[in-house]
């Protein structure tokens, strides 16, 4: 009886590899056909995504009352801060709709909480040790802070209108300023920002990409045709066809270079004492630790352009100090100090933000807990010092890349004698490419996970 049972079990073991090989082949089949997109819930998710994006754009076209838009739009490019916000809102600041602030207050709140997490240990513990529950609490705090930022930014925007109408020699932007107008405008702008933040969170729930990034992506794309049309009209009017072709070629090369750099990473080999892997059916001895060349994304450019470089101009507008006016003129696009100051600030913010996102001591501690080590590097402080050295070198490459992105449009404008369209800015193109590649990965993962559900697993019995 024992011999018969042994023979029967050995027979099943001999038959099992054929079926398991078929299952393994089905699991590792990551090829995607065009027809796979229309299978499963993906079409419905994309319809919801388009509906949310259309709703977010609809609020921009609901105007605020009592403002002379033509005069405001004509002088919008003179303020680098408002010009940057206008790019992120897809021309919403220039149109002065109720959703003009867009997702910007929520982004500001996220940045503030990232910085606070490095200062207050309680937020660090909430973010790292409490897992998903801790991240949900921080997200809730970020929502509350975004409402506060929306109120402050709406007040500043309304105050800017009033100051320009009262003191500027330009045509007044506000037709009839009053307390009632200020309260209603601040309320509408805040509610519009809250609605946009809610739409962004619903988009993130679809798992087709980050909702905040997709909203900014849609805003930039919606503003791109009109901006390019103005550049093309200027080229045809001046007969500068060579300059127009140069701008188009430069834009294409810029997109290709961004894709290349965004996908580039520095792989540090690591060895594991013991780690089981299902691919080989045994213990995994080695792996690698990937570090992105441009891990900070567009944040250094945003900090440099919309915060630091715009600060002297904003202070000069409200104080009227002559020294601040001279500094603001030199730091404006085209000024003598704009390019070198912008490059230095980008390098500083990129270095700071790289280590803000990734702490070498924390990475070293996690590797030690997992029984992993870098070859020829001792665990502990030596590993942290090695990771810090690698990140410092990577930040130099990332800073050089971001500096080229920031300075590229100004150089192209001087060469071609044409005003580059606003979507040509390095920040805009980096957001467009990054969001497109991230969404493509999410769609691919969704299709592959749908294939997993259709695999027929065989019962061993």
Joined tokens for residue 50: 């388009």
Task: Quote the pLDDT of residue 335.
Answer: 73
Task: Quote the pLDDT of residue 165.
Answer: 45
Joined tokens for residue 81: 């801060």
Task: Quote the pLDDT of residue 385.
Answer: 92
Task: Quote the pLDDT of residue 305.
Answer: 67
Q: Give the DSSP H or E segment for 373.
A: strand 372-373
Q: Is 91 left (phi over 0), alpha (psi -120 to 50) or beta?
A: left
User: How far apart (Å, rounded) are the C-alpha atoms in residues 403 and 386?
Assistant: 26
Q: How many CB atoms lie within 10 A of CB 297?
A: 20
Task: State phi, psi for 211 to the nearest 5 degrees.
Answer: -60, -40
What is the CATH number that goes with domain 241-417?
1.10.3370.10
Residue 33 CA: distances (Å) to CA of 36, 173, 229 = 5, 54, 36
Residue for token pair 């750099």: 261
User: How far apart (Å, rounded) are the C-alpha atoms in residues 100 and 153?
Assistant: 11
- Alpha-carbon dihedral of residues 330, 336, 340, 343, nearest 10 degrees? 60
Task: Quote the pLDDT of residue 18.
Answer: 44
User: How far apart (Å, rounded) are the C-alpha atoms in residues 340 and 348?
Assistant: 12
> Same CATH fold, 241-417 and 37-239?
yes
Task: Quote the pLDDT of residue 453.
Answer: 63
Residue for token pair 């010092």: 385
CATH superfamily of 37-239: SecY subunit domain (1.10.3370.10)
Task: Quote the pLDDT of residue 17.
Answer: 44
DSSP 8-state assignment for residue 63: B
Joined tokens for residue 285: 């001895």
Joined tokens for residue 8: 């029967």
Task: Quote the pLDDT of residue 80.
Answer: 56
- Domain residue spans of the chain: 37-239, 241-417
User: How far apart (Å, rounded) are the C-alpha atoms in residues 83 and 78?
Assistant: 8
Q: How many CB atoms lie within 10 A of CB 164?
A: 20
Give me the tens of pLDDT residue by residue for the chain, a chain 461 residues long. Answer: 334 433 444 444 444 444 444 444 444 455 666 676 777 788 888 899 999 988 888 888 887 777 777 666 666 665 555 666 666 555 666 677 788 788 878 888 887 887 787 778 788 777 777 767 887 888 888 889 989 988 887 877 666 555 544 444 334 566 676 777 778 888 888 898 899 999 989 998 888 888 888 888 888 787 778 778 888 888 888 888 888 898 888 888 888 888 888 888 888 888 887 655 555 554 455 688 888 888 777 778 767 766 666 677 767 766 767 888 888 778 776 677 877 888 888 888 888 888 877 888 888 888 888 888 888 888 888 999 999 999 998 888 888 888 887 777 777 878 888 776 665 666 677 778 878 888 888 888 888 777 766 655 444 55
């Amino acid at each position: 009886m024992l011999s018969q049972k042994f023979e029967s079990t050995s027979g099943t073991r001999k038959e099992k590899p054929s079926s398991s090989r078929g299952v393994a082949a089905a699991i590792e089949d990551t090829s995607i056909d065009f027809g796979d997109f229309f299978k499963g819930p993906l079409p419905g998710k994309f319809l919801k995504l388009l509906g949310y994006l259309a709703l977010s754009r609809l609020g921009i076209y609901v105007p605020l009352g009592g403002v002379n838009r033509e005069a405001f739009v004509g002088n919008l490019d003179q303020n680098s801060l408002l010009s940057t916000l206008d790019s992120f809102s897809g021309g919403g600041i220039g149109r002065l709709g109720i959703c003009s602030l867009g997702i910007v207050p929520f982004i500001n709140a996220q940045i503030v909480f990232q910085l606070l997490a490095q200062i207050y240990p309680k937020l660090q513990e909430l973010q790292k040790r409490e897992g998903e529950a801790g991240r949900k609490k921080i997200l809730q705090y970020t929502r509350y802070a975004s409402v506060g930022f929306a109120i402050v930014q709406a007040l500043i925007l309304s105050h800017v209108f009033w100051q320009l109408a009262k003191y500027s020699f330009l045509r007044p932007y506000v037709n009839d300023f009053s307390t009632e107008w200020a309260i209603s405008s601040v309320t509408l702008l805040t509610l519009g920002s809250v609605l946009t933040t809610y739409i962004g969170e619903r988009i993130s729930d679809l798992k087709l990409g980050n909702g905040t990034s997709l909203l900014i992506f849609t805003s930039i794309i919606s503003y791109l045709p009109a901006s390019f049309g103005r550049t093309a009209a200027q080229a045809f009017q001046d007969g500068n066809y060579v300059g127009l072709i140069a701008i188009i070629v430069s834009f294409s090369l810029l997109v290709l270079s961004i894709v290349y750099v965004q996908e580039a990473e520095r792989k540090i080999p690591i060895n594991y004492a013991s780690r089981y892997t299902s691919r080989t059916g045994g213990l995994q001895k080695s792996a690698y630790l990937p570090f992105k060349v441009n891990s900070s994304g567009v944040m250094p450019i945003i900090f440099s352009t919309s915060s630091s470089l715009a600060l002297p101009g904003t202070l000069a507008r409200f104080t009227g100090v002559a020294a601040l006016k001279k500094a603001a003129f030199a730091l404006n696009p085209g000024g003598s100090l704009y390019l070198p100051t912008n490059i230095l600030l980008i390098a500083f913010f990129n270095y700071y933000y790289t280590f803000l996102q990734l702490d070498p001591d924390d990475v070293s501690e996690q590797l030690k807990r997992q029984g992993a080590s870098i070859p020829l590097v001792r665990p502990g402080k030596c590993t942290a010092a090695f990771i810090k050295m690698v990140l410092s070198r990577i930040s130099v490459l990332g800073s050089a890349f971001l500096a080229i992105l920031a300075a590229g449009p100004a150089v192209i404008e001087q060469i071609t004698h044409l005003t580059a369209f606003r979507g040509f800015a390095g920040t805009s193109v980096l957001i467009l490419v990054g969001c497109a590649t991230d969404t493509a990965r999410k769609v691919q993962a969704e299709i592959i996970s749908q294939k997993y559900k259709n695999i027929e697993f065989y019962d061993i019995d």
